[in-house]
Amino acid sequence: SEVMRFKKLLLIVLILAVVVLGVNAFLTKVDVVKDDSLNWLKEKRIAHRGIYNNEDIVENSLSAIKLTIEKGENVEIDVQKTKDDVVVVFHDVNLKRLTGVDKNLEDLTYEEVRQITLLKTDDYIPTLKEVLELVDGQVGLLIEIKNEGAVGRLEELIAEDLKNYEGDFAIQAFNPFVLEWFSLNAPDIKRGQ
């Protein structure tokens, strides 16, 4: 009857309101940085995926990061993991756009990935550890975590790689559950969305 339909509609609206308010509360829970530890983000430009042209210098490559360091700019990189849990610096889920190989990164071991070059260069897909060694605190590092799947293992590996890094860095992610993982498990790491 009409009254039953109205009650069902009211219940649906009430449930949606609770869900929206809950998601909003979760997403707006913010840890505000009250010191100067993130000033490096404001003081210099940030080269998105390094300085590259995707001809002879490919995005997120060691060459792009070296050029960014030479220019004295901060660098933003993208990270994800291989099948055998090696954190690598690469933007896309699939390798085809930058390598010509039509395979997903997560389906390959790092040994397989390491054999693939980027476009028509001698550069390869570097590990996060290699990038940390190269940057070595010379410029700030903004690390975007590419994880739209299960949260936990990738974040754990990244936190381990960053444990002894002494340069300026922060992590970012579009996935709020990635940021929640860092808030709970590595709260000293600066993070944002």
Residue 19: how many CB atoms within 10 A of its CB?
10
Residue 186 confidence (pLDDT) above 50:
yes
Predicted local distance difference test score (pLDDT) of residue 36: 83
For residue 139, the model assigns a pLDDT of: 98
**Which of 64-68, 74-78, 124-128, 174-178 is predicted with the least confidence, judged by mean pLDDT?**
174-178
pLDDT of 57 above 60: yes
SS3 of 104, please? strand
pTM: 0.83
The pLDDT tens digits for 24-42 are 555 545 566 567 888 998 8
Task: Report residue 52: phi and psi, to 5°.
Answer: -150, 165
- pLDDT recorded at residue 28: 47
Task: Quote the CA–CA distance of 57 and 93 in Å, as a whole number.
Answer: 20
Is the pLDDT confidence value at 86 over 80? yes
**What is the rounded average pLDDT for all residues in the chain?**
91
What pLDDT is recorded for position 37?
81
pLDDT, position 156? 98
Distance separating alpha carbons of residues 112 and 98, to the nearest angstrom: 15
Residue whose entry in the numeric block shows the structure tokens 């109205």: 6
Residue 116 Cα to chain centre, angstroms: 22
